[in-house]
Amino acid sequence: MIRLSPEHHDWTGWVALIPARGGSKGIPDKNLREVGGLSLVARAVRKAKAARSVARVLVSTDSEAIAQAALEEGAEAPFLRPCELARDDTPTSEVLAHAWHYLRERESFRRPVEGLALLQPTSPFLKSESIDHALDIFCRSGARILKAIRAVKDHPAWMVQKTEGGFLSPYLPGSPRRRQDLERLFIPCGALYLYRREVLNHPEDHPKTAWLELPWPESLDVDDPGDLVVAELLAASGRGGDGLVSLPAKP
């Protein structure tokens, strides 16, 4: 049994929460797979620790191996997530609520946590500067949540669906349009979410949401083996742009 990190008592500012469960059907041990010589969870911890606006880095995992890897990078791993919160179909909101409950039970009322910055380890090229930029936008916006987004490449206006007669029909009404005539659409890329204390204490159905558009490859999400190959090639060629190929561990 590993020895988990002792509790910390500096509860000021923003806490980076890195959810990294042990199981993955698409890529076994995905969060421990290496990109550019560093595991995905190690990369996420280093990005969070390098962000000036993040006071602490907390890893939520059900895996002792991932917890140990997080501790070696200087993150906190004070608990192992219950197995019922580490299934394939576990909503991120439940993982978020579990970590927030842990913090609320142990925080100092004189120095409360302002909110959580949820960083997915499956976005290996998210930059620390983008975390800081997102928090700057967020704190000035008045929004309750911020989501990192990317532009949609395959526009719904071009999509088709199969009909019962064996033919194709447009998914949306109207004729396909030229690319330059289409409005830009976006989708959350999963790399980064910010949550204010107020919305964590009192979840809302439709909270006011700010955004930060991430370019590629910051918006890359490692979801299947092909994505991992792309990430490894980017890191090996230096085109990932984050400098985390041979960076030593931070104290």
Residues 6 or more apart in contact with residue 129 via CB below 8 angstroms: none
Per the listing, tokens 């960083």 go with 119
Q: What is the mean pLDDT of the segment spanning 185-209?
A: 93
CB 39 within 8 A of CB 73: no
pLDDT of residue 108: 57
Q: What is the mean pLDDT of the segment spanning 174-202?
A: 89
pLDDT of residue 111: 60
The pTM of this model reads: 0.88
% of the chain with per-residue pLDDT over 70: 88
Per the listing, tokens 């409950």 go with 101
Q: List alpha helices for the chain, DSSP H.
A: 40-50, 64-72, 92-106, 128-141, 197-201, 225-237
d(CA 44, CA 27): 18
pLDDT of residue 9: 41
Tokens representing 207? 């909270």
3-state DSSP assignment of residue 50:
helix
d(CA 196, CA 146): 9
Higher pLDDT: 195 or 251? It is: 195
Q: Which domains does the chain have, with CATH numbers?
A: 13-150+187-237 (3.90.550.10)
Q: What is the mean pLDDT of the segment spanning 14-31?
A: 90
Least confident of 60-74, 114-128, 164-178, 182-196: 164-178
Lateral strand order in the sheet of 209-213: 54-60, 13-19, 113-119, 186-196, 145-151, 209-213
pLDDT of residue 174: 79
pLDDT of residue 133: 95
Sequential DSSP letters for 178-201: -GGGSPP-EEEEEEEEEEEHHHHH
pLDDT of residue 87: 82
Split at pLDDT 50, 70, 90, the class of 244 is low
pLDDT of residue 5: 54
User: Which residues on adjacent β-strands are paired with residue 168?
Assistant: 162
pLDDT of residue 8: 47
Reported as a single tens digit per residue, the pLDDT across 156-183 is: 888 999 999 899 999 888 766 777 888 8
% of the chain with per-residue pLDDT over 90: 65
Look over the chain and give the mean of its residue pLDDT values, rounded to a whole number.
87
Most confident of 22-31, 87-96, 100-109, 216-225: 216-225
Reported as a single tens digit per residue, the pLDDT across 97-122 is: 999 999 888 765 546 788 999 999 99
